[in-house]
A and B are shown apart, each in its own frame.
Chain A
Amino acid sequence: MFLRYGLKNILAAKKRTGVTLLLSICTTALLVFSTGFLQGSHMQMLKNGVEIYPGYLQISHRGYRQEPGLDHLIFGVDGVMGQLTDPEILIAARRFETFVLYNGEQKSVGGMFTGIEPEKEESISRLAQSLKEGVYLKKTDTNTVYMGYELARRLAVQVGDEVTFVGTGADYSFAADRLVVGGLFRTGLFDFDSQSAFVTLAYFNEIMAAENMATHIIVQPAHVEVAQSLSDRINIVLDDEYRSESWQETMAPLVKAMKVDSIFNYITLGIIFIVIFFVIMIYTFLTVYSRTREIGVLRAIGSTPNQVLALLLSESVILAGVSVVVGGIIGGALTYYFWQNPIMIGGYEEQFKLYGLAASAMPTLFSPYLILRDMGIMFLLCVGSTLYPIIKVNSLKPLEAIHHV
């Protein structure tokens, strides 16, 4: 009965109903969409960050991150590769990273010099896809270098030109050679593009005296969502010296930066929500108070305070329920649409480069769980914002209420 009575009251109080519905629907849609956008764009940035080069899972010497030097290599890397038999492992590739000084015709620039297994990298990183000029590395290449576009620009070299490098071999010997630029890549990560160059691992091993050594093994899981648990399993198999880290660990600073971004976004939303809840509260207050006399009568003819509370609450619950469902559907639909058709953020590439991100297409994240969570939060907040007026009017004595003007 209260539900029907409540429903009639809702239909009768058009102003309150209109304003409450409008605001709550917009707020819910806003929250649902913002969450989808935030999570989606953050995931995209992380995905880009992870997939361009670092990979979902890295195995390295326990001390490498602290001291990335020749003391902390994976020695006997072939044996370690042999231990990686987990069926979840799609592919595993060796990398040897070091820093050298590149010398072009006129300029010298320091940069990363890395040996990779080119055919395996194609299914692990986006190096091959990021080709801009020339060709990607072939397994049989020798002194061909696949160079970052910005690095090439800094060295003032082009495809076909020669560069020399000077560095330290794995045996601490002096290492230097002439390289031929075979291809240029541009991933969009400015720092990466201006510092990296790749050669085949076979050539690298020879020139740097690094046979059967590597700085990293990059593992591509069959399912990227389970990277962490795969990493945990690999750690059990590995010798104590080495450890496997999932992208959540290797990309920790970026994950944290995303968290900070989320926090500030939610602060902003919070401020908008505060005023919205005040307005819902005010409109509820006005409506409920214009019915004070009626509430007094309800009490006089035998409704208990709890029944009156139930009636008024049922009205809020209906309004909040309808708004949350409609707002959730609108927000969800928007989120779904932009999940399928990512938002193109043109003009902000500069901004993103500043933060070391390469992403101009931002899909939202369509997650039913997050949508329901936000709908739940909004429902509680919408009902919550009506509590004060309801409790206040219900605390009047019946006689006061009847005589209220």
Chain B
Amino acid sequence: MMNDFVRIEKISKIFTPAKGVAVAALQDIDLTIAQHDLVVLNGPSGSGKTTLLNIIGGLDEPTQGQVSLAGQRLTGMGEKEWSETRRDHIGFVFQAYNLLPVLSARENIEYIMRLQNRTSAECAARSLEVARKLGIEAVLDALPHELSGGQQQRVAVARAVASKPRLILADEPTANLDSKNGNDLMEMMQRLNEDEGVTIIFSSHDPMVINTAKRSIVLHDGRVVEG
């Protein structure tokens, strides 16, 4: 079980535009990802990294195949079940940070825990704990637009891990950051992976970032070519 925490079976995704030819973004992907792993999806633009992450997170539906998490089949679930699964088990980190603009850093971090109806004390303690690990405890009361890109992305990571999900999906988390900030972020992700035991799958085509992963899966034209 431990070795197939995330199980991806025969996943294909074909985009059929209204005009023009159908494009296969993913073709027959078979993958398993172990618990506590830190995996990078690696490949050039258009290789299908983001599509695969979106399918694992339920933001997109595969044309074929299925995904399961900890033995539970996810593909084919309804909107509400997917929302709950994302809320309780999956954390998201976006390339463009996507913090909620009117909420402070602290409120952004606490948001998912609030959705889970945790007590205020619990939320406060946990958000402070995560913020310390990520070195953003000083800016907790700032609004997103008052923060630098690096800080914003750390808040986004803090938001993703605060509710203790079992899986974090991060789509090109360092793409908008300079190399210093990018490296710092990846170090922190590594630490979280070890301290909190959370499984992390991220996509990137930055060689430096790729090196921090425990396992690298290379995609090309929608197929797994390595890993």
Enumerate chain A interface residues (CB-CB to B < 8 A). Answer: 1, 5, 8-9, 11-12, 293-294, 297-307, 397-399, 402
Contacts and interface: CB of A to CB of B under 8 A. Distances in A.
Interface in B64-122: 79-80, 83-88, 90-92, 94, 98, 100-103, 107, 111-112, 114-115
Contact of A302 (B54, B100, B102, B115): B115
Contacts of A398: 59
B184 interface: no
A30 B96 CA distance: 46
A288 to B, nearest CB: 14
B173 interface: no
A293 B83 CA distance: 17
A297 B54 contact: no
Contacts of A5: 100, 102-103, 107
Interface in B26-61: 54, 57, 59-60
Nearest to A10: B102
B158 to A, nearest CB: 12
Contacts of A297: 94, 98, 100
Interface of chain A: mostly helix, strand, loop or mixed: helix
B80 A304 contact: yes
A302 B101 contact: no
Interface residues of B, number: 28
Contact of B59 (A8, A294, A399): A399
Contacts of B92: 300-301
B102 A300 contact: no
Contacts, number: 65
A1 B114 contact: yes
B159 interface: yes
A305 B83 contact: yes
Contacts of B87: 301-304
A390 B60 CA distance: 22
Nearest to A13: B102
Contact of A300 (B57, B80, B84, B101): B57
Contacts of B88: 302
Nearest to A298: B100
Contact of A9 (B83, B102, B111): B102
Given A305-B79, A305-B80, A300 B86 contact: yes
10 contacts: A5-B100, A293-B98, A294-B101, A301-B92, A301-B111, A301-B159, A302-B84, A302-B112, A303-B87, A402-B59
Contact of A303 (B102, B115, B159): B115
B30 to A, nearest CB: 23
Interface of B: 54, 57, 59-60, 79-80, 83-88, 90-92, 94, 98, 100-103, 107, 111-112, 114-115, 159-160
Contacts of B102: 5, 8-9, 11-12
Nearest to B102: A8
Interface centre among A1, A302, A303, A306 (most CB of B within 10 A): A302
Contacts of A399: 54, 59-60
B49 to A, nearest CB: 15
A306 to B, nearest CB: 8
Contacts of A11: 102
Given A1-B114, A399-B60, A304 B79 contact: yes
A301 B112 contact: yes
A79 B207 CA distance: 114
B103 A301 contact: no
A12 B104 CA distance: 13
Nearest to A398: B59
Given A303-B115, A304-B84, A399-B59, 13 more contacts: A5-B107, A12-B101, A298-B100, A300-B57, A301-B86, A302-B115, A303-B87, A304-B79, A304-B83, A304-B87, A397-B59, A399-B54, A402-B98
A394 to B, nearest CB: 11
B162 to A, nearest CB: 11
B83 A299 contact: yes
Contacts of A302: 83-88, 90, 112, 115
A402 B160 CA distance: 17
B181 to A, nearest CB: 21
A397 B54 CA distance: 12
B159 to A, nearest CB: 7
Contacts of A397: 59
Contacts of B80: 304-306
A300 B79 CA distance: 11
A297 B103 CA distance: 13
B152 to A, nearest CB: 13
Contacts of B100: 5, 294, 297-298
